[in-house]
Structures are given as structure tokens and as C-alpha cells.
Structure 1
């Protein structure tokens, strides 16, 4: 088995394990709240305000990337929401 095949198998195993884990991370509520609070139209405008590339917001929205400290601080600075409020939004239950 070559390195590429092992890497692909490892990625598949991690994805299967991730699918089995209960996750409380709900990025859509966080991102949608920011868009609403900042009177933006969409994720593209949010990217410009937060000064991040569109793939970053896309990966966060699709739960492939967690909200890092730098983006969290930018969200706080731009929205005036507290860090705790932002974390609560991203960990809200999905009911």
C-alpha cells in the first residue's frame, strides 16, 4: 500500500469517526446571527467584514473547520457580541 492510499484510508476513518461523534458545534446559527446583526446579505459580505477568504467561512458553515481564536476575536470586534455569546451561538442545540 502506498502513502497516498494510506492517507485516503486514514481520512475516511476519521470522517467515519467524526460522523459517529455527537457534536454540539452548530455554525449556521452563529454565522446567520452575525450576518443579521451586521446587516449583511450573505457569507461573501461576512468574509469581507471579517477579512477572511470565502473558503474559510464555507468550511466553518459545513462543519469542516472550527471557529478559531482569530476569527472569534474578529467576530467579537465587528459585532460587539461577547466571546461568551459567540461561543453560545456556535454551541446551541439544534432543536
Structure 2
């Protein structure tokens, strides 16, 4: 007999989110749409340091709201389209005061 505690469900949901979330799809799409050669050129376009793009690719840094807005401004894609490219399918978001 298996007993599931209330902590099992959130853990499963986090794992499910990580299997569909892929920021590389978004970064690759922006590079292609902007006719750029590499991540360094994308970093220049977005006015961020190249290690920021690397950290996003290696999932050590999430794509924050400010960067998402910059991506929208340079690409012309909607925020919804950008989120869909990276696999973010959440319907609601919680704001951060940090």
C-alpha cells in the first residue's frame, strides 16, 4: 500500500514543468528571427552580458520579466508567443517584489 502525502503532488508538478520548459527553443528562435550568428550577438542585441545567455541556456538563471520584455521589444513577438516558445504554459503568474 502506497501512501501519498500532500508534498508528493507539488514535487510531481515541478518535475512536469521542467520537462516542457526549454529556454533554448526561445533563444534559438530569437537568434534565427533576428538573423544573428550566435549567443554573443543575441546578448548584444538584448543588452545583457554574454554569461546571462549562457546561464539561461544551462538553466541556472530563469528568464526574468525585464529580459522577457526586452525580447518582446527586439523581436516583435508577443509575451504570450515568447512564453510559448520556451514551453511556459502557465495560465496565471505570481508577481515578485524582489
TM range (shorter): 0.7 to 0.9
Instruction: Extract unaligned runs of 5+ from structure 1.
Output: 1-16
Greater helix fraction, Structure 1 or Structure 2 = 1
From 61, 66, 91, the equivalent of 1:65 is 61
Match of 1:14 in 2: none
Q: Which has the higher contact order (CA 8 A, sep 6+)?
A: 1
Structure 1 residue 25, shift from structure 2 partner: 1.6
Note the aligned Cα RMSD (angstroms). 1.6
Give me the whole-angstrom Cα distance separating, in 2, the residues matched to 1:21 and 1:65: 17
Match of 2:82 in 1: 86
- Larger displacement relative to structure 2 (20-29 or 75-84): 20-29
Give me the whole-angstrom Cα distance separating, in 2, the residues matched to 1:35 and 1:29: 10
TM-score if structure 1 supplies the norm length?
0.73
Q: Could you say what secondary structure the match of 2:27 adopts?
A: helix
Instruction: Extract unaligned runs of 5+ from structure 2.
Output: 1-10, 89-98
TM-score if structure 2 supplies the norm length?
0.71
Number of equivalences: 74
Match of 1:21 in 2: 15
Q: Could you say what secondary structure the match of 2:21 adopts?
A: coil
